[in-house]
Structure 1
Amino acid sequence: MKTLFSAISCFFTLLFFGQQTSKNLIPFVKPIIGTQRMGHVYPGATAPFGMVQLSPDTDTIPYAVNGKYNPDVYRYCAGYQYDDKTIVGFSHTHFSGTGHSDLGDFLIMPTIGNLQLNPGTATAPSKGFRSTFSHENELAEAGYYKVKLDDHNITAELTASTRVGMHQYTFPKTDQAHIILDLMAGIYNYDEKNVWTYIRVVNDTLVTGYKQTNGWARTRTIYFAMSFSKPFKNYGQKNFDEKQVYRGFWRKFDQEDNFPEIAGKKIRMFFDFDTEANEKIKVKFALSPVSQKNALQNLTEEIPHWDFEKVKKQTQNSWNQELNKIQVDASPDDKTNFYTAMYHAFITPTVYQDRNGEYKGLDQDVHQANGFTNYTTFSLWDTYRTLHPLFNILQPKRNADMVASMLAHYDQSSLHMLPIWSHHANDNWCMSGYHSVSVIADAILKGTYTGDAEAALNACVITARKSNYEGIGYYIDKGYIPAEKSGISVSNTLEYAYDDWTIAQLAKKLNKTDIYNEFILRSENWRNNFNPVSGFMEPKLANGTFKKDFDAYSTHGQGFIEGNSWNYSFFVPHNPDALVTIMGGKKQFGKKLDTLFTMHLSDAFFAETEDITRDGIIGGYVHGNEPAHHVVYLYNWADQPWKTQERVRQILKMQYKPTPDGLGGNDDCGQMSAWYIFSSMGFYPVAPGSLEYAIGSPLITNAIIHLENGKTFEVATQNQSETNPYVKKIILNGKTLERYYITHDEIMNGGKITFIMSSKK
């Protein structure tokens, strides 16, 4: 009895303590940040790492016009652009901050008046079901979105649990209220003939079905269950292959009555209601990667009621729990930037399994996740750099599950490859490198992933020896990829070399000497693309000579992806000491970094890049793309740490703002945001796979990191101000730190680091 009483007392003590220490951080999250220009984030509702991303789409743009790529689609990677004046509907799946897209599944739009089953256009919204809206009547919060649809006099509200989106539409009085389900809509709007949909009307409040697409993901199937809070009085659909409205589909039945099964390539459905003034009709929309049955189970178990405010509160409580993992003091704008960055960092990767643990694997079979939660949306070329290292501190359990998900992907791959850029049981093979190995090695070396480390190493090694993939065979044989064989030969060589170093570190930990020797040797292949005459990384021909007509400023035809030689020439994060030496020593290296940050790029450069990266550029440093994200910290290796400090502050202030255009480039599934979180606290993982974090210049006044192991690590500053960007002294756990890095163990063991700031270098 005493034991029971003690347990109860302990529970309420912890509960009280949690209530006392937890802060309401929702007001500091502004999902609208980054929705203008090239941030490519969405403002709608999602739960932390949620499978549902329920958000407004302001347009659907054809991927091709007259058979040619349409460059306008790039603006709509997240479905929403702040400058647009109309909303076409609310769909349930979105990427956050990417430079490519897919998804935009199951678009819902409430309307009144005469039924219209085409979306209209931005210039003529009244000719379709879209509506104008005003940002004055729009509210975006973590887990909640609200907007007034002016043309229909309907207020739309959205929230979401992990697997279920919940809509609440407040209608005027009318006998012509409609809720449209558009099964043709999709971000990038690939050829609709590559879509097949099936819908089953179970009763007058429940609809289930699925959608198959062939887009960026070659074969993607997503199932749904849709439930209404009020019975619809009528329903129907238009099959746009048939050019006619039908109440059913199968020709042997009465097509004028509501028929319960519908299938086709180009279908939009509608559901009719009578409504009183200010009547709320609610919709619950659950997703599943496996089946309609599982979607229905997700719906009934995750949101078994119709209390919209309860779902909103639960989701925002979940967000508060995640946001409180770091409690910061900073200026109002910096605090908004910080917590919005945390919000964006905790959106992806996304859960990809049902409540019963089932998910669809890369082999398109149904699998059971045993002992882990399965995740998808791995934009690894971006996120290995900073996001996954951040998870090793703030989300170790989730990151361990992400590693387990990558290894499951490997087991299901007929090619025996770890994921490159994977989502929804597909791999898009996008970008260069095989950066799963960095995430896996970093997680094992830092003690995050405690599964079978030897099996993980084996998967990394087999992936890195895949001679028929993206020039790896040439890389192994020659130590570089010939320019004749790949348009991104230099990028691939440099990124493979880094990845190989992480494999070597893992092999060393596991005492696999033969593997260590193989991959530590491969990790030095970056030297083969360095031209000592020019001092740059350059494309090399198969005969061993450097390619002629080299241009260090050009982003085209020089062997690089999303960058030029000025940015990639510093991409040796795993061996910066050797890079400093090969570039002529610390003084010369520092001067070259200075030139990178102060040069003036010509209009011809921006014309060549089609203005995509203009937002994220300082001098020649491209913060809007990832290859140079570590570069500002390299001044530490040139014995000029004050330049790292002043440039970090410059980037934090110039590239991140609490405004709709406040991201200086694609957020890339949280990578840009993770860079902000680390850098504003004063340290950064230059080379994941290393246990060291380079020191920069903290922007915050104070931060307390609440670790999953129950300990806290505090970052404190003295004399903090905008005019004091320089670090005069560092005190770690009461002792002066005589180095410009801290270790992973020093963070995870808890403690306190104090930065004493100054206006003097």
Structure 2
Amino acid sequence: MKKLPILLLLLVATFTFQPSFGKTDLVHYANSLQGTDSHFGYSNGNTYATVGQPFAMHLWTAQTGRNGDGWKYTYGATTIRGFGQTHQCSPWVGDYAWYSFMPVSGSLRVGEEERQASFSHDNEIAHPDYYSVIFDNGMRTEMTSTERCGHLRFSFPKGQDAWVVIDGYTAGSGWSIDVKNRQITGWVNNVRWINNGDSFRCHIFMQFDQPFEAYGTWSNRDNSINEGETQREGEGVGVYLKFRPGTKVQVRTASSYISDEQARLTWQQEIGNDKKLEQTRRRAADMWNNLFGRVLVEGASESEMQTFYSCLFRANLFSRQFFEIKKDGTPYYYSPYDGKVHDGYMYTDNGLWDTFRSQFPLTNLLHPTQQGQYMQALLQAQQECGWLPAWSFPGECGGMLGNHAISLLADAWAKGIRSFDPAQALEAYAHEAMNKGPWGGANGRAGWKEYWQLGYVSYPESSGSTSQTQEYAYDDFCAWQLARATGNKFYEEVFGRVMYNYKNVFDKHTGFMRGRDIKGNWLEPFDPLAWGGPYCEGNAWHYNWSVFHDVQGLINLYGSDEAFIAKLDSVWSIPNDVHVGTYGVMIHEMAEMQQAGMGQYAHGNQPIQHMPYLYCYAGQPWKTQYHVRQIMTRLYDASPQGYPGDEDQGGMSSWFVLSALGLYAVCPGTDQYVIGSPLYPKVTLKLENGNSFSIVAEGNSADNVYIQSATLDGRSLDKNWITYDDIMRGGELHFVMGPKPNTSRCTTKAASPFSVSD
């Protein structure tokens, strides 16, 4: 992947340009260019140069791609077209409520092709709290932000006219210029999945600190200019402003989905007192330093610190706040589900198939109060549109598969987050499990009738049918778990009958999870290397392990621990060949698996990411320790090529953060974290409840990856897992590490993590 030269340049840039914020400064380790060297055919993260606060309603980025291009910022680009407000969580879903600024020097050029300016990464700084670039023509742009506001500064060279072009993007927009007060109000209506989209507008208020020497409106449909015009609405309408040559221009801008008045109020609340960009940046840096300081790594190298805090940054961007604050300090929100305004909290922009496995188990540790709000928001969304979210952006689009909102709800309940009515949650989930909604395969259940009648989803009636069967069974376990924990005997019985349905797609003769037709026949011919068909974004090798809730049951299907271990070992040893199957062409996930060079282990996509931890269920935890170390050190770094596939709203980053701690939640919906191999000598979690939990790895090094012994709060730890409560009550998890496996430690079934078949 040729990561080293880029990483060295990053180190030089970081420590050359980054001002010091004192001993507690951790934000400078986080590189917001991590994962940006991506394109349609290959993903090193599919991220962009993000500026924003944790879980902020709006993020900001430099724009190298054309308007409407999913690849908003790519590291390989040499020009920038604008600096915009963004909500994109994946290039595959696009963006909404976007608008942008672009400084222009010399003659006025409004179109995105004409106004783009060339730059070098040598003149670029990119951290969570601050982005800066100096163009080849001498112009400079700086950005920082609050939760709902952006603060930008443009520095123009002397001797040339100075312009700022505001682009209304790809759909309806409207603007009004207040020349006297140096203010602009406006709105944009570029939307993605708004389930009641006619009512959607992003209302904008911005204040400039310099007078306008000239101004007007323009259209990005034909780049026509309306000189001196102060108001216009239409498709792709924008604004241009002229300033004195050689000046520095600041703009502070706020956005609201509720009203123009709320946009002005938000501006006053969050950014109105910040006369200088440095003030806003300071608060943004403080926000990140406070968060990063709650996961304090000790004894790591500079590059290791960069990788960890870059991943921790990405792990704390989604789900996005979608609520705003009234004058009296209470939250309310415009609903992307019913188009109305409601009191309370709302969160959105999350594909739960990508994030239920890692991101939410991490967030439950770091932000339990916020997670309680999010659980309320899930059920509120269901009340407003009739369905639990599966892929919200910002309304429900139903992408991917599974009904994983129940995983979030059950996981929260198992970990003591009791902010919601479990009976309401179970009723909402039952509706999901026994119906099909209008928005995508995961809105309700594709193949739900066959699943309940046959015990599996049949192919070709449903694409990805085997994957669906497995993930539905896991979701049903989560409902069973929540029902059992709350005394709901009815739903405990209903979902207890179907949570073992994964067994119905296991073929003992081949040792794989396979597709079946509606008559019960196995699909022939069978090729375990073939992608697609009954598998979603993978093949049989990847989905063999998607039994999060019943690994012991899966072991039983193989007949013994030894047979199960042999199958696990085969994943790494067989060639990394790809058969494109029903996809017909090589997709980026296939290319990423081949590039990783780990056999059929495809860490670049979610279905197999838990598989290295399954050795802990079959008596060989040292193999987990070896493989997770290999994955962390070979496939992740802080560079623009820093991920082995799509970062996916914090999913990929959260896998790394948890694994670097030495923990992983194989089965969300339970209170357990399975033990892997901690990456650093010491990490201290400063928990929301005021307690601290330290993970100490004595003798840790690149060679000493194996756990020799472990204690929890001074007592010998003879199991391959700890609980959420073990962490939240504070204390110390202490490992002694060594270069050779301890093959006698934690090898019994008593040491194995949870399985429902236990």
TM-score by shorter chain over 0.5: yes
Match of 1:315 in 2: 284
Between the aligned partners of 2:222 and 2:577, the Cα distance in structure 1 is: 53
Task: Identify the residue that residue 288 of structure 1 maps to in structure 2.
Answer: 256
The 2-side partners of 1:643 and 1:209 are apart by 58
CA 1:444–1:611 in structure 2 vs 1: closer, same or farther (change >3 Å)?
closer
User: 1 CA distance for matches of 2:694 and 2:225?
Assistant: 63
Answer whether contact 2:64 2:80 (CA < 8 A) is retained.
Answer: yes
Structure 1 residue 172: Cα displacement: 1.6
- Give the structure 1 partner of residue 172 of structure 2: 196
2:367 to 377, 392, 395: 395
Cα distance, 1:467–1:352 mapped onto 2, change above 3 Å: closer
Tell me the residue number matched to 2:32: 31
How far is 1:693 from its partner?
1.2
Mapped to 1, the partners of 2:419 and 2:221 lie a distance apart of 53
Structure 1 residues 641 and 608, CA gap change in structure 2 (3 angstroms): farther
The answer for the alignment partner of 1:456 in structure 2 is: 425
CA distance in 1, matches of 2:721, 2:563: 23
Aligned partner of residue 145 in structure 1, secondary structure:
strand
Q: CA RMSD in A?
A: 2.0
| Alignment CA distance shift 1:456-1:22 (3 Å) | farther
Structural mapping, 1:555-566, within 5 Å: 555-557=531-533, 559-566=534-541
SS in 1 for 2:460: helix
Deviation at 1:644, TM superposition (A): 0.5
2:110–2:223 Cα contact (<8 Å) kept: no
| Structure 2 residue 340 is matched with structure 1 residue 366 | yes
Larger mean Cα displacement after TM superposition, 723-732 or 31-40: 31-40
- What CA distance in whole angstroms lies between the structure 1 residues aligned with 2:110 and 2:236? 12
Tell me, in whole angstroms, the C-alpha distance in 1 between the residues paired with 2:714 and 2:461: 55
What secondary structure, in the 3-state scheme, does the structure 2 residue paired with 1:227 have? strand
What residue is the counterpart of 2:85 in the other structure? Answer: 92
Q: Distance in 2 between matches of 1:21 and 1:658?
A: 22
Aligned to 2:452: 476
Q: Are 1:211 and 2:192 counterparts?
A: no
1:333 maps to 2:303: yes
Match of 1:707 in 2: 687
- CA distance in structure 1 between the aligned counterparts of 2:22 and 2:637, rounded to whole angstroms: 28
Matches within 5 A, 1:310-709: 310-329=279-298, 330-356=300-326, 357-370=331-344, 373-413=345-385, 416-424=386-394, 426-467=395-436, 469-557=445-533, 559-602=534-577, 608-616=585-593, 617=596, 618-709=598-689
- Distance between the aligned counterparts of 1:98 and 1:731, measured in 2? 44
Displacement after TM superposition at 1:318 (Å):
0.5
- Report which stretch shifted further, 21-30 or 672-681: 21-30
Partner residue, 1:162: 147
CA deviation map 1:463-519 (0-9, x unaligned): 222256412222122211110211111111111111110110000011111211111
Q: Which one-letter code corresponds to 1:270 in the other structure?
A: Y
707-716 or 40-49, which deviates more: 40-49
Q: Runs of 5+ in structure 2 lacking a partner?
A: 1-20, 438-444, 742-758
Are the aligned partners of 2:464 and 2:532 in contact in 1 as well (CA < 8 Å)?
no
Is the contact between residue 104 and residue 162 of structure 2 (CA under 8 Å) also seen in structure 1?
yes
Quick one: distance in 2 between partners of 1:360 and 1:685? 34
| 1:612 shift after superposition | 3.8
Name the SS of the counterpart of 1:237 in structure 2: strand
Alpha-carbon deviation of 1:760? 1.1
Note if contact 1:233-1:271 (Cα within 8 Å) is conserved in structure 2.
Answer: yes
Distance in 1 of aligned mates of 2:153 and 2:219:
27
Q: Is the 1:98–1:668 contact (alpha carbons within 8 Å) kept by the matching residues of 2?
A: no
SS of aligned partner of 1:312: helix
Does structure 1 conserve the Cα–Cα contact (< 8 Å) formed by 2:258 and 2:341? no
1:265 corresponds to = 235
Is the 1:109–1:181 Cα contact (8 Å) retained in structure 2?
Answer: yes
Distance 1:527 1:603, change over 3 A: closer
Could you report, residue by residue, the CA deviation over 1:676-716 in whole angstroms, capped at 9, with x for unpaired residues?
11111111100001111111111111011111111111100
TM-score by length of 1: 0.88
2:14 maps to which residue?
none
Q: Which amino acid in 1 is paired with 2:355?
A: T
**How many residues are paired up?**
694
Match of residue 105, structure 1, among 98, 107, 110: 98
For the residue of structure 2 that corresponds to 1:139, the secondary structure is: strand
Q: Specify the code of the residue in structure 1 equivalent to 2:340.
A: V
Distance in 1 between residues matched to 2:646 and 2:222, nearest whole Å: 40
| TM-aligned CA distance change 1:270 to 1:351, over 3 Å | same
Partner of 2:754: none
Q: Secondary structure at the match of 1:443?
A: helix
Distance 1:201 1:478 in 2: 63
Kept after mapping to 2: 8 A contact 1:96/1:668: yes
Q: Which residue of 1 aligns with 2:12?
A: none
Tell me, yes or no, if the aligned pair for 1:101 and 1:216 is still in contact at 8 Å.
no
Among the aligned pairs, what percent are the same residue? 30
Rounded to whole Å, the distance in 1 between the matches of 2:252 and 2:310 is 27
CA displacement at 1:222 relative to structure 2:
1.8
- Shift in alpha-carbon separation, 1:686–1:524, aligned structure 2, 3 A: same
Structure 1: give runs of 5+ residues left out of the alignment.
Answer: 1-19, 64-72, 121-127, 185-191, 248-257
TM-score (norm 2): 0.88
C-alpha offsets along residues 559-599 of structure 1, whole Å, 9 cap, x if unaligned?
Answer: 11121111111100100001011023211111111111222
Partners of 2:698 and 2:667 in 1: how far apart?
28
3-state secondary structure, aligned to 1:135: strand
| Residue of structure 2 equivalent to 1:60 | 66
SS at match of 1:133: strand
**Map of 1:173 onto structure 2:** 158
Contact 2:615/2:621 (8 A) holds in 1: yes
Q: Which amino acid aligns with 1:163?
A: R
- Per the alignment, in what secondary structure is the counterpart of residue 92 of structure 1? strand
TM-fit CA distance, 1:106 = 0.4
Whether the 8 Å CA contact 2:335–2:342 is kept in 1: the answer is no
Secondary structure in structure 2 of the residue aligned to 1:138:
strand
* DSSP-derived class of the 2:361 partner: helix
* CA 1:217–1:584: 2 relative to 1, 3 Å: farther
Change in Cα spacing, 1:759 to 1:243, as seen in structure 2 (3 Å) is: closer
Residue 281 of structure 1 and its aligned partner are, at CA, apart by 0.3
Question: Quick check: 1:143 aligned with 2:118?
Answer: no
> Corresponding residue for 1:739?
719
- Name the amino acid aligned to 1:130: Q
Question: Cα 1:726–1:238, aligned 2, differ >3 Å: closer, same or farther?
Answer: same
- Residues in 2 aligned to 1:226 and 1:61: alpha-carbon distance in whole angstroms: 22
In 2, the alpha carbon distance for the partners of 1:103 and 1:363 equals 15
The 10-residue stretch of structure 1 (541-550 or 312-321) with the greater mean CA deviation from structure 2 = 541-550
User: Residue by residue, what CA displacement relative to the aligned partner does 1:143-188 show, whole Å, maximum 9, x if unpaired?
Assistant: 100001223x21100000000011011112246211001112xxxx
Alignment partners' CA distance in 1, 2:409 and 2:388: 10
Judged with a 3 Å threshold, the aligned counterparts in structure 2 of structure 1 residues 266 and 450 are, in CA distance, closer, same or farther, namely: closer
Partners of 2:58 and 2:335 lie apart in 1 by: 18
Shift of 1:85: 0.7
Question: 1:21 Cα shift?
Answer: 12
Q: Contact 1:290/1:358 (CA < 8 Å) preserved in 2?
A: no
Write the distance in 1 (CA, Å) between the matches of 2:643 and 2:559.
35
Alpha carbons of structure 1 residues 676 and 240: separation in structure 2 relative to 1, 3 Å? closer
Q: Is the 8 A contact 2:96 2:190 kept in 1?
A: no
